Structure 1
Amino acid sequence: MTDEKMQLVIVTGMSGAGKTVAMQSFEDLGFFCVDNMPPALLPKFWELVKESGKISKVALVIDLRSRAFYDQILHMLTDENEGSPAIESQILFLDTSDKELVSRYKETRRSHPLAMEGRVVDGVRKERELLAPIRSNAQYVIDTTTMTPRELREQIFETFGTEGTAGNFHVEVVSFGFKYGLPIDADIVMDVRFLPNPYYDPKLKNKTGLDKPVYDYVMKQPVTEKFYSHFISLLRYVMPGYQKEGKSTITIAIGCTGGQHRSVAIAQRIADDLTADYTVHVQHRDVNKRKETVNRS
């Protein structure tokens, strides 16, 4: 266990104000997330977290399903902070106007938890009264009345993210062979079968794009350098846009016929070049497959 403070964020607020989006955002920021834990269980849960020594950030969603325990939340947090200086707890309260909440419930045709057999507006008003003490003690209040889910996500990243995390945005680069099928999770697919194929060189046939002779063969082709210059510029141009739209992961798939030579070399170069600006993982899915094919063009 290090001396670094463990961070606990209680996510609460009006039903329909965006707690699900908030929880997903905290997960992308690397928080250990638990939904709907009764505050009475918080001390035991936190004891287990501290004993594990591996969890440093926790986000707990507490909503009206736990309303019988709401009067205990503030006491629990006070006791936790006094009993353990190594814990830093905060409350994030998500709020929305009554009119917008009623509209959202009408659109989804759901019943408000405090108005199962009555008017939605009455349930909203009861809930607001119930949560008033929690709201007044919250360190952060976000009004989602006019926010889109993406904007709420960005606000949470800005408030609770650490410098350099960039919302934990990362890039997955995958090389593959078309003969084995496209990666089903690919966001961007580039076919590099138009490049000269090292497979037809007897000295390179049984090597892969991870071997320097094959890598050099692919990269020394004039067509390769011209193509790569355009493609890497395109990737650098679109990456910030994906981040702005709230994507946490982008998968770039580079394919050739068998997934062993051209795609491997190009994918590896892309991964190496993007590493300067992003967290990048590279996988060569079919690099070790050696099934013969009639047409290797």
Structure 2
Amino acid sequence: MKLLRIILISGLSGSGKTTAIKALEDIGFYCVDNLPIPLLPKFLELCEESGGRISRVAVVEDIRSASTFPSSEISKARGQEEEIENFFEDSRRIIQRLREEGYPIEILFLEASDLILTRRFSETRRQHPLAFGGPILEGIRLERKGLQGLREMANEVIDTSSFNVHQLKERIQAYAQREWTPNQMILTLLSFGYSYGIPFEADLVFDARCLPNPYFVEELKRLKGDDPKIVQYVLQWEESQAFIHRVYGLIQFLLPLYLKEGKTHLTIAIGCTGGRHRSMVIVERLAEILQKEWIGRGISLSVRHRDAEKG
């Protein structure tokens, strides 16, 4: 296994890839934006020959690189949509080959909802690179479809719909700075509020709105789920303990199956009404259990409270 740390940033146009690469540059990564993917193998070779001066690199790979492909790579494509799919399929094959050669390429995939992406393009008055003068939504559809293969290879998928620039920068840097080794599955426990929508990146979603709600206790409603009073309130109920026990039982059953399948990332989301009380407590309790039972067994654990500061 190569000693080089390699983060490849990909995802939908308008999802925040420029912010992501700048965030990594700020913490010491050697960064290249829009490197044509056929040049990635040679670039990594040169980094290895740097004598250790370059040990952490980050590269942005997106649809802008399509025009740099040799025409022979895409000449078989018929029509715009096939050409785009061919470009991303070629990218996927190159990355897979490099991984097989021992390069521990981590793929950080950024996405956002169609509504948010459309709004971002409208606000900046930029044209979507695949819209070709047509509707922005059509460009988003083409790109989302073409990127599906890379998304499935990703070590981490981040939905940036609810992030501002500063929050996204913190999220990217938190990912880069946590310990990760190749062949581990990154398990993310995510609390959220149904009032703000179900997270797009969630693989499994559990609804904790059925549990007693501290919001209706006057002295508790303004506190957050990390306050000891909220923790005590939520966990005192028998149904809360049963909820945790049964959700963990399902996770315990599924994790070995996902690991056997070779899944590289899994996001489990727990939701309550506002995402500030019950879901936070449940996520933290599940994290405690998983930390004891699964760390060191092919799992890297991450916890995020998406809506804790809202409301």
Compute the displacement of 1:29 (Å): 1.6
Pick the structure with greater CA Rg. Answer: 1
Counterpart CA distance in 2 for 1:124 and 1:81 is 28
Give the AA of the match of 1:124. I
Q: Which one-letter code corresponds to 1:151 in the other structure?
A: Q
Q: Percent identity?
A: 43
2:142 to 122, 126, 132: 126
* Deviation at residue 91 of structure 1 after TM alignment: 0.4
- Match among 11, 14, 19 for residue 13 of structure 1: 11
User: Secondary structure, in 3 states, of the residue corresponding to 1:145?
Assistant: coil
Q: Quick one: distance in 2 between partners of 1:5 and 1:104?
A: 38
Aligned to 2:99: 81
Matches within 5 A, 1:79-158: 79-83=97-101, 85=102, 87-158=103-174
Residues 1-297 of structure 1 mapped to structure 2, 5 A cutoff: 5-53=3-51, 54-67=53-66, 69-83=87-101, 85=102, 87-161=103-177
For 1:126 and 1:92, the matched residues in 2 are separated by 20
Distance 2:133 2:2 in 1: 48
- Partners in 1 of 2:117 and 2:7 — Cα distance? 24
Distance 2:48 2:88 in 1: 24
User: SS at the partner of 2:95?
Assistant: helix
CA distance in 1, matches of 2:28, 2:178: 11
Checking the alignment, whether the CA contact within 8 Å between 2:35 and 2:59 is kept in structure 1 is yes
Structure-1 separation of matches of 2:97 and 2:119: 39
Q: Return the alpha-carbon distance in structure 2 between the equivalents of residues 62 and 103 of structure 1.
A: 23
Q: Secondary structure at the match of 1:52?
A: coil
Classify 1:49/1:28 alpha carbon distance in 2 versus 1 (closer, same or farther; 3 Å). same
Indicate conservation of the 8 Å contact 2:107/2:154, yes or no: yes
CA offset at residue 76 of structure 1?
1.9
Q: 1:193 aligns to what?
A: none
Q: How many aligned positions are there?
A: 159
Amino acid in the other structure paired with 2:50 = S
**Residues 248-294 of structure 1 deviation map (CA, whole Å, 9 limit, x = unaligned):** xxxxxxxxxxxxxxxxxxxxxxxxxxxxxxxxxxxxxxxxxxxxxxx
Give 1:79 deviation, angstroms.
2.1
Query: Can you list the C-alpha shifts for 1:78-122, whole angstroms capped at 9, x where unaligned?
Result: 222332x3x321100000000100011111111111112111111
User: Displacement of 1:75 after TM fit?
Assistant: 2.1
For residues 177-228 of structure 1, the C-alpha deviation after alignment (integer angstroms, 9 at most, x for no partner) is xxxxxxxxxxxxxxxxxxxxxxxxxxxxxxxxxxxxxxxxxxxxxxxxxxxx
Amino acid at match of 1:55: I
Structure 2 unaligned segments of length 5 or more: list them: 70-86, 180-311
User: How far does the alpha carbon of each residue in 1:165-187 deviate from its partner, in whole angstroms, 9 at most, with x for none?
Assistant: xxxxxxxxxxxxxxxxxxxxxxx
Distance 2:10 2:149 in 1: 12
Q: How much has 1:162 moved relative to structure 2?
A: 5.0
Structure 1 distance, partners of 2:123, 2:4, is 39
**Equivalent position amino acid for 1:76 in 2:** I
Q: Residue 39 of structure 1 contacts residue 70 of structure 1 at CA under 8 Å; is this kept in 2? A: no
- Aligned partners of 2:134, 2:122: CA distance in 1, in Å? 13
Per-residue CA deviations over 1:17-60 (Å, capped at 9, x if unaligned) read 00111011010121100011111111111111111122111100
SS at match of 1:91: strand
Coordinate RMSD, CA, aligned: 1.7
Mapped contact 2:11–2:111 kept (Cα < 8 A): yes
Q: Is the 8 A contact 2:92 2:149 kept in 1?
A: no
Q: CA separation in 2, counterparts of 1:126 and 1:62?
A: 16
Q: Is the 8 A contact 2:2 2:104 kept in 1?
A: no
Map of 2:235 onto structure 1: none
